[in-house]
Every structure is written in C-alpha cells, then in structure tokens.
C-alpha cells in the first residue's frame, strides 16, 4: 500500500452562515420535519420545535440549536453519538445535524477544484522545494471520489469547532489522526492558507509539505475547503 498523507492548512476568517438545506440534498438527504418530542432538532426548526429548546447543563446536547463542545462542553463532551459532539456520527446527516456534518450542498467545490489545478500545475511544471537543490516533477493527480466522508468531514470539524485543533483533538477528545485513518489516509503536515491561491503558496513554500505534495507515489487527492468560525483547507493524498 502506498504511503498516504494529509496536508492541513488553517487561517482565521470571518464566520460564514450556511442556510439550512431545503428539499432533497445532493446525497439524497431529505429535510426533516419539525416534530415535537421526537428528540431531533433540524436547523430549520429552531424556534418552532420543542426539541430545540435546551440549556447548558441539562445533559442534552442539541448542536443545531447552538450547543457544541465549544459552547457547552458539559453536555456535548461525549463519545455518545449526539448532535454537537464534533463528529458526524453514523446515522447523522446534514439534515439532522448540520453542526457536526457540515452544509449541503458544499459551498467551496469550485475553490477545491481550483486548488487541485494549482497543485497539478506545480507537479507537472516542476518545483525546487525549499531546502532541495534539484527540481521535482510528478504526474497530475486525479480528484479522489467523494471526499465528503474524508476531507469535507474533517475540515468542517476544524472550522466549526476550532479550539481543539491546537492539540489535534476534536472537542470530544477524538484525535484528528483517528478521523484521517477512518477515511483511509495516514499522516499529516501543516501550513497556513485559506484560499486556493493562499493554500498553493503555503504548500510550495513549506519544505516538508512541498516534498510530500510532489511525491510520485500519489495518484489522487481529495480536497476539503470550508469557512466558518475559521477557514481551513485539507488535502488528502494517496
């Protein structure tokens, strides 16, 4: 099996507001109805569903109503599959838990495609990475199939509940490497950047990250870019 790696690039940014999903999502998710007492608080039902009424300390974590590990660790700092614990757990979708699973449709798909073009231009055109004495060349990468479970999932945790990123833990204590491994990738490298232009500059100017991006063993990349409380770009390689 070829070595795999993840490049994580983070920068501060203003908070974006993602509108609730309406109709049928791109992956088939249907918006959930507002039903009092069903234990589910869809984003669009805040203010109209009794399940969205919560108080920090009541042992209920209601992520779509604003309770997360960041805002209420007392209720949400748990490995139990609840909306607000910082993980898009099995059974959770954008319709039921946007705060953990992220928005749909994904807002920065075009920027992700632009980043792949920039990476491939660097690989094919060649670069002398910082600290090297010779240019490196590599074939273009294909975009990995369906990055939502990997790059999109992880980047949303980084930008939406960002404070644990300093120690590579999600807000409920699960390591980011565990999420990377669950998506089928290994390893990681870090640099600054928040747009395709800024990210490629960061990739090119950090020696270790540049050399990783230029490794010929890689044939595809899955890219996730998001902006919320902060902005981040993730490049999964394999």
Contact, 10 vs 202, CB < 8 A?
no
Q: What is the pLDDT of residue 193?
A: 56
Q: Is there a single domain that holds both residue 118 and residue 213?
A: yes
Region of residue 146 (left: phi > 0; alpha: psi -120 to 50; beta: else): left
Q: Is there a single domain that holds both residue 98 and residue 111?
A: no
How does 107-142 read in b/e, with b if 16+ C-beta sit within 10 Å?
ebeebbebbbebbbebbeeebebeeeeeebebeebe
Q: Is there a single domain that holds both residue 226 and residue 175?
A: yes
Q: Is there a single domain that holds both residue 135 and residue 82?
A: no
Q: What is the pLDDT of residue 31?
A: 53
Contact, 219 vs 29, CB < 8 A?
no
Report the number of distinct structural domains present in the chain. 2
Contact, 234 vs 5, CB < 8 A?
no
Dist CA 142 CA 184 (whole Å): 16
Closest C-alpha among 151, 160, 154, 158 to residue 224: 151
Q: Is there a single domain that holds both residue 88 and residue 145?
A: no
Q: What is the pLDDT of residue 149?
A: 57
Domain boundary among 83, 105, 127: 105
Q: What is the pLDDT of residue 32?
A: 66
- Residue 196's contacts (CB-CB under 8 Å, 6 or more residues apart) are 111, 112, 114, 115, 118, 225, 233
Q: Is there a single domain that holds both residue 142 and residue 232?
A: yes
Domain boundary among 74, 105, 136: 105
Q: What is the pLDDT of residue 1?
A: 45
Q: Is there a single domain that holds both residue 9 and residue 100?
A: no
Per-residue pLDDT tens for 11-46? 444 333 333 333 333 344 455 678 888 888 888 888
Laid out side by side, the sheet with 189-192 consists of: 142-143, 220-227, 230-237, 5-12, 189-192
Number of helical (H) and strand (E) elements in the chain, helices listed first: 7, 5
State which residues form the domain around 188: 5-15+107-237
Q: Is there a single domain that holds both residue 168 and residue 126?
A: yes
Could you tell me the CATH number of the domain that includes residue 135? 3.40.33
Strands 5-12 and 230-237: antiparallel
The DSSP bridge partners found for residue 237 are 5, 221
The per-residue pLDDT string of the chain (238 residues; one tens digit each, 9 = 90 and over) reads 444 445 555 444 433 333 333 333 334 445 567 888 888 888 888 888 898 999 999 999 999 999 988 889 889 988 888 899 888 887 888 888 999 888 888 888 899 999 999 999 999 999 999 999 999 999 999 987 655 457 787 888 888 877 544 556 777 677 777 777 777 776 555 545 568 999 899 889 989 889 989 999 888 888 888 888 888 888 888 8
Q: Is there a single domain that holds both residue 134 and residue 119?
A: yes
- Residue 205's contacts (CB-CB under 8 Å, 6 or more residues apart) are 130, 191
Domain boundary among 57, 72, 105: 105
Q: Is there a single domain that holds both residue 148 and residue 76?
A: no
Q: Is there a single domain that holds both residue 185 and residue 88?
A: no
């Amino acid at each position: 099996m070829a070595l795999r790696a993840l490049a994580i690039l983070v920068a501060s940014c203003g908070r974006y507001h993602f509108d609730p999903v309406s109709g049928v999502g791109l992956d088939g998710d249907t918006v959930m109805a507002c039903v009092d007492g069903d234990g589910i608080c869809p984003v669009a039902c805040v203010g109209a569903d009794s399940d969205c009424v919560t108080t920090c300390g009541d042992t209920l974590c209601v992520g779509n109503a604003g309770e997360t590990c960041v805002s209420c660790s007392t209720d949400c700092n748990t490995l139990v599959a609840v909306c607000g614990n910082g993980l898009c757990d099995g059974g959770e979708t954008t319709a039921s838990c946007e705060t953990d699973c992220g928005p749909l449709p994904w807002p920065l798909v075009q920027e992700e495609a632009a980043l792949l073009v920039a990476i491939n231009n660097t690989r094919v055109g060649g670069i002398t990475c910082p600290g090297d004495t010779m240019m490196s060349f590599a074939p273009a990468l294909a975009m990995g199939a369906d990055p939502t479970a990997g790059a999109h999932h992880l980047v949303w945790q980084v930008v939406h509940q960002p404070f644990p990123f300093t120690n590579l833990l999600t807000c409920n204590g699960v390591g980011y490497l565990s999420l990377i491994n669950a998506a089928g990738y290994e390893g990681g490298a870090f640099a600054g950047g928040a747009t395709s232009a800024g990210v490629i500059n960061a990739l090119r100017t950090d020696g270790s990250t540049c050399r990783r991006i230029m490794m010929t063993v890689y044939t595809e990349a899955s890219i996730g870019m998001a902006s919320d409380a902060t902005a981040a770009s993730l490049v999964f390689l394999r």
